[in-house]
Amino acid sequence: MSKESPLSRKISRREFGRKLFDTAVATSAVALSAGTLTYLAIEANEHQETLYGKPIEEQKKKELLTHVFGDEEYIPLREEPNMGELVGITLPNYRVDAQAYYGVTYPSNSKFAKIEKDGRYYGVWYKLDAVPIFEKSSTDEFVPVGEVHGIYVTVNFLTEVPSESDNLADAQ
């Protein structure tokens, strides 16, 4: 008794057409369902309000000190809380009043540089009330050119202001 393989069985054109049609309908239904679910997920995400550019309310405005790390010479200043165009530069050791804001994430080793809120990650940026701005001259000296207000800087370039007790301990 020879058993015929299902692959070698001949089918009519009508049966073949019907199976092809059923397969196409099933594939289309799956694709349509997946597409609809993807569209709904994107729509829901787009309508979720972003916190970009808004103050981090859990962090109060505070006095900080401009600071460089590594072999950096200056602190880059930005108009928005992102890595866009550089507005100017400032130097270390200036006291500034600063408010934390949600912004674009950026490379940092600081555990305070990124925050998760409502399932999204944001970079922590500080909006400075006022800070002196400098230009680098042809002789590589930093020349003051004024003061800017409402400018952003990453947390990498700020540090806590030393307390009076720290200053007394350093003096002894």
**123 within a domain of the structure (yes/no):** yes
Per-residue pLDDT tens over the stretch 48-58: 579 999 999 99
3-state class (DSSP) for residue 77: strand
- Six-digit token pair at 162? 């030393």
C-alpha to C-alpha distance for 50 and 122, rounded to whole angstroms: 10
The mean pLDDT value for 102-131 works out to 93
Contact assessment for residue 165 and residue 136, using Cβ atoms and an 8 Å cutoff = no
**34 within a domain of the structure (yes/no):** no
**131 within a domain of the structure (yes/no):** yes
Per-residue pLDDT tens over the stretch 69-103: 878 999 999 999 999 989 999 999 999 999 999 99
C-alpha to C-alpha distance for 87 and 32, rounded to whole angstroms: 48
**Enclosing domain of residue 85:** 56-161
Please name the helix (run of DSSP H) or strand (run of DSSP E) that holds residue 132, with its range, or none: strand 120-136
Residue 155: per-residue pLDDT: 92
Domains held by the chain: number: 1
What does pTM read for this prediction?
0.68
Q: What rounded mean pLDDT belongs to the chain?
A: 83
**6 within a domain of the structure (yes/no):** no
**104 within a domain of the structure (yes/no):** yes
